[in-house]
Amino acid sequence: MSDSILTIPPSPTLSTHSVRFQTSTALRDNKPEQTSGLSSLGLLNPESASSHSHARRPSNATSMTEVDTDDGRSDAGHRHVNSAATSMTHVNATQSSKQTKSSEGESSDDSSKKDDKKDDKKKDKKKGAKSEDDGKTAHQLELEQDAAINPTPFAFKPYQLAHMLDPKNLDTLAGFGGAVGLLRGLGTNAERGLTTHQNEKVGAGEGASQRHDSESADNQYAEKEKVPEIMLTAPSGQTVTATPQDEDPLASKATIEDRKRVYGENVLPIRASKSLLQLMWMALKDKVLVLLCIAAVVSLALGLFQDFGTPRTNDEPPVDWVEGVAIMVAVSIVVVVGSVNDWQKERQFRVLNEKKEERGVKVIRDGLEKVVDIKEVVVGDIALLEPGEILPCDGVFLSGHNVKCDESGATGESDAIKKATFEEIVEMYRKAQEHGKDPSTLHCDCFMVSGSKVLEGVGKYVIVAVGTKSFNGRIMMALRGDTENTPLQLKLNALAELIAKIGSAAGLALFIALMIRFFVQLGTGEPPRTPNQKGIAFVNILIISVTLIVVAVPEGLPLAVTLALAFATKRMTQENLLVRVLGSCETMANASVICTDKTGTLTQNVMSVVAGSIGVNCKFVRHLHENAARSNADETEQSESTGQTVRKHVDDFSIDQAQLNDALSPAIRDLFNEAIAVNSTAFQDTNPETGEVVFVGSKTETALLQFASDLKWRDFKTTRDEATVIQMIPFSSERKAMGVVIKLPSGQYRFYAKGASEILSKRCDSRIVVRKGDGAAEGPVETVPIDDLARENISRTIIFYANQTLRTIALCYRDFPSWPPTDMDLNEEQEIAYEDLAQDMTLIAITGIEDPLRLGVTEAVGKCNRAGVTVKMCTGDNVLTARSIAAQCGIFSSGGIIMEGPVFRKLSNAERLEIVPRLQVLARSSPEDKKILVETLKSIGEIVGVTGDGTNDGPALKTANVGFSMGIAGTEVAKEASDIILMDDNFKSIVQAIMWGRCVNDAVRKFLQFQISTNVTAVVITFVSAVSSVEEESVLTAVQLLWINIIMDTFAALALATDPATESLLNRKPDRKTAPLFSVDMYKMILMQSIYQIIIILVFHFRGEHFLGLDDVENGHRILTTLVFNAFVFAQIFNSVNCRRLDNKLNIFEGIIKNRYFIAITLLEIAIQVVIVFVGGAAFQVTRIGGREWGISLALGFVSIPWGAIIRCMPNGPFYKLFDLLGLFGKPEVLPTASPDREGWGGALALVQDNLSTFSNIRGARLRSSSFVNRSRNARTNAGEHPVASIMTIAPTMVMAAAVAGSTYKTQAGSLSDPAHADPSKSSAALWEGKLQIHPETPKDDPFYRKFAGQRNMV
């Protein structure tokens, strides 16, 4: 007992919330008249429970722990319980007193102390004492949640069951009494399943209570205790008693609703998606919009005062209030467009998920197989296992045949995990320990993990955790989090603040200047004014100052961002990209590295037979005319006798795979087909999403079945059903082969084998003969012995295919006249050993299988490289396949490095920083390696996009700046953690995301370039003209400014934000995250366009009458103001065309035809301006003008375009110096060259901290809810806070701990911390001695080449 690895967990029904009836009168509230005992559950609620100390209820399946206290007395006497099958375990208090106390609560004697403690706790809380969650793990916090749950009528609490699988713990299950005790405690039956329709009454009947002992209770228990007990031995050597399979009368009669009440439903809480109003409120909190709202209120108040609080001339309409209303309209448009877009996107994502979630689960209920909706599955259901199924819930395996699960999607475990019953596993673990083996290397257990996939076999399991308590559900909940601001949002917020400050400063300066003049006028009495007029004059000064601030604020900016994103996300959805997080769209513009999976993203994830050799001479290739290099039939050598070049194997011939039937006789076709169909566990099924019939099973087997199906050979099912199977040998990674023995119609027996070609070909001594044009030949299959020439041909062919990274599979057979064969003995299972059968076989064929590249991937990788985005491949596959695919699609190029995950994760921080920029392929990588790679890339300033499809990719997807998940192959967890979903699982779509990201960023910048120049001009001319005017009148009236400021902004946002993404966007490198929002080109354009516009407006404003010879004072002044207004508007319209380019290239009309919005809006702006001039006289204070004035205003506006071309030709150097001097580019960011906190003990501590944070991300959703944890996490230590001495005081402790732990703690093989531990592809590491491979075209003077030189590191 003392050397036990693990101890049995505390009793499932013991808790501080157990109920004790203080007096016998309290039992009256137990409603004994009720026929259902469920009505008395109210007495057991946590509130009433918390006020009483602990006393146990009778329990039917209790694992009881007797604790030796420090004084040597046992506390068993306090807690004696009549129990049907109580197993007693003796635990030494010194080892586990803490665990026992925390989980079992105090005895009833301590109740008064407990109440006192509660009062003390309350006082402590008032004083601001530490949180209760201080220092507790996620598991402890979850078990505390358990304490508040009353599991009656069941024996187990929810998280006790959930923690049995996370991590997998066989001793916990043993503590429950094994699978038998588990079934009993959950009130279910392995054969009948749950009982849903009960004919008898529920409860104890009239006048009896279900809660307190009936008269016969003691007899009932006494009888039960006479039933012989089953003893189970846990892997640690503990013996526990399993309850016999007689059902718990209470638990078995519980309703489905009871199960949902105690254990929850199999649904994740729908993420409280925000309502439209909430989304609108969030949108309104934007800094720019807050600024606009303030401006609108002030403008509206002053406008109403001007219109209705002051006397007006007859021809002046009361329209000053319009500006305030118009700003409000602009804000409303932004809020509505943004929030509706978010709302639609959220709904779209939910519909996608719901479609994925809608499926039935086969369960046994009332002794019948039923298909129930996945959401209706409950704890205690007996669910059935079938190949291809994704497990909906956690459970414990009960029975079945050859069940294997792929848990890579859930835990990262790369090997298939065999499932066996609890009793079988205990026995296997015992044998393994006897032989000194690590039981975890058996890759065998009895736990069914939600999210994993059944590869083969059939069986059933009992469900123990559903919904948020299941493994999958808890990871899903942990990944839920709020999104951060994107780089663009942060820059725009800063810009909004800056503009508000500048605008306010300009407004204040104008107010001060006008007030000085106002005071001078008051002092001199010129012009003479009545007190009322003086008041109005002051208000006018205030109005013009506020107008200036309103003009400075770019109302169109949030609209431009919102429209650009809305437009881009809509178009991206059409291109198979579902954007979940809007900000990720902008972030992709700056993406500099993409870390992509191989399988399914770069490749099709459909294994296919692409080449092969039948017999020895018939070499077939799929699409031979395109892939002639895949056949070695025409290989030549130099003749030793004549010296001439001759064909090496004269009988070899090549043939297209589709024409194989012309070369193979009917007998060979039948033999080949039978070897494929009978020796296989794959089957056919209908894909629920596409509706097409597909093969389901291992990828190798489905490839071979598809190969036979494509050649129109006899249906595999008919062939399989007709065969009489005598013995089956399942595939195992040790022998790398599988086989089947069948009885032939002739009465003979035939053994078919299929497996690794390099192993099986050596076990063959003969081969079938295939000649060209034998398709119609009748007669039996001809075989000949394998001579040296044929042996050399076989081995050469296998190497030839292996060099193309094809997976080579050999198919062989052997005939026996009788069964069992006379010279062979049956083993204990009455079967012939595989080693005896797989001798002297006949080779049928060797097939080459691969997962082909997706169409367009090579071009997509080329485009990424052109765009300055580095593509890195992270795959769990072996290094040879990874290298081949990387080379095929252009990822592995000159100067690049290939490394394996196990080597990569052992690198020091300094080595990693050196290697990561050059790393192109990371083979055999675990999800943790991927996460380390992403973190390293981010630490050197890269913006990283990551693709992932498995549950285990969640952390890397969450860590990346932008996470891409797969819409088809992706798990729910991957989708939840991602920002963008690739609906077609294709790498090509990532290039589209980069293009659209850049398009969004460019749209915002184009708009800013236009908007800021308009605003600068408007502010300057308003300021200058107001100061120079005696009446404090601006060159542009408030309503004219409204048209320019609001309508033009909104229209420009629409026009410039809707430019479609083009391939030309990929012709430049990505911007850094810290790059300023404005480039030199943009600042230059804004400055020079503003200067031009200011000059023409002010010149015409002050000297226009002189230029144009306008004599009539009143009418002439009105014509001049109209001309100035017209010229200013057309200057903006033409400048908007000019702003379609951000660089120095001159073609501003590129792609204008594709943007119909731009053309339509520009024409609409011109039309409205013409209408304003002709009929808007009163409101806009304009008058009709003649042809000369129209010509002048159009010409002045049009000059913006040629002037823009001149500006683009100006050198950038002097402008950069000027703008840098003004501090417009901010401070340059210097990247750290070293990470001081990563050296020495600090590095060790930081590593531990990283590991813990990773673990908490995956496992710790509930831990995160703790306020204390959040506070302690957010606290950052300063470098100088702890002197070295204080750190070193813990050194002896750490050294001691390491020494002790070193001998006892072992990383579980294949566990989450090291998923690739038992990866069979490790053998590839033996192909070279070096740690990495450098591309052969790397220049010799490359520092990496010099550092890692040597043939062993070259490919």
Partners of 728 in the beta sheet? 740
Query: For 526, what's the count of Cα atoms within 13 Å in the CB-facing half-sphere?
Result: 3
- The two tokens of residue 196 are 């849903």
425, 444 Cβ separation under 8 angstroms: yes
- The two tokens of residue 1300 are 């002790």
Nearest to 1128 by CA among 1083, 1174, 1173, 1084: 1173
Nearest to 852 by CA among 576, 596, 611: 611
Distances in whole angstroms, Cα of residue 1042 to Cα of each of 296, 383, 598, 1057, 1165? 12, 68, 56, 21, 14
Buried b / exposed e along 590-619 (16+ C-beta atoms within 10 A) = bbbbbbbbbbbbbbbbebbbbbbbbbbbbb
CA gap 113, 119 in Å, rounded: 10
CA gap 590, 1231 in Å, rounded: 17
Q: How many CB atoms lie within 10 A of CB 708?
A: 22
Q: Which residue type does 66 have?
A: E
Give me the residue label for tokens 């071979």: 704
Question: What would the DSSP string read from start to end of 1062-1110?
Answer: -GGGGGSPPPPTTS-SS-HHHHHHHHHHHHHHHHHHHHHHHHHHHHHT-
- The two tokens of residue 1035 are 């060159």
The values of phi and psi at residue 653, to 5°, are -145, 150
Residue 597 bears catalytic tag: yes
The helix/strand/coil state of 595 is strand
- The two tokens of residue 760 are 């099986």
1135, 1089 Cβ separation under 8 angstroms: yes
CA gap 147, 14 in Å, rounded: 9
CA gap 977, 951 in Å, rounded: 9
- The two tokens of residue 584 are 């990720």
CA gap 543, 1046 in Å, rounded: 18
Q: Is the dihedral of CA 956, 961, 967, 973 positive or negative?
A: positive
CA gap 737, 679 in Å, rounded: 11
How far apart, in Å, do the first and last CA atoms of the chain sit? 55
Distances in whole angstroms, Cα of residue 902 to Cα of each of 382, 408, 1320? 40, 17, 14
The values of phi and psi at residue 613, to 5°, are -135, 120
- The two tokens of residue 4 are 């036990």
999, 1061 Cβ separation under 8 angstroms: yes
CA gap 1156, 1179 in Å, rounded: 31
Query: For 836, what's the count of Cα atoms within 13 Å in the CB-facing half-sphere?
Result: 13
Which of the residues 286, 320, 597, 1314 is marked catalytic? 597
CA gap 76, 65 in Å, rounded: 8
CA gap 1082, 1114 in Å, rounded: 41
805, 745 Cβ separation under 8 angstroms: no
The helix/strand/coil state of 750 is strand
379, 259 Cβ separation under 8 angstroms: yes
Nearest to 174 by CA among 230, 89, 242: 242
636, 647 Cβ separation under 8 angstroms: yes
Among all residues, which ones are annotated catalytic? 597
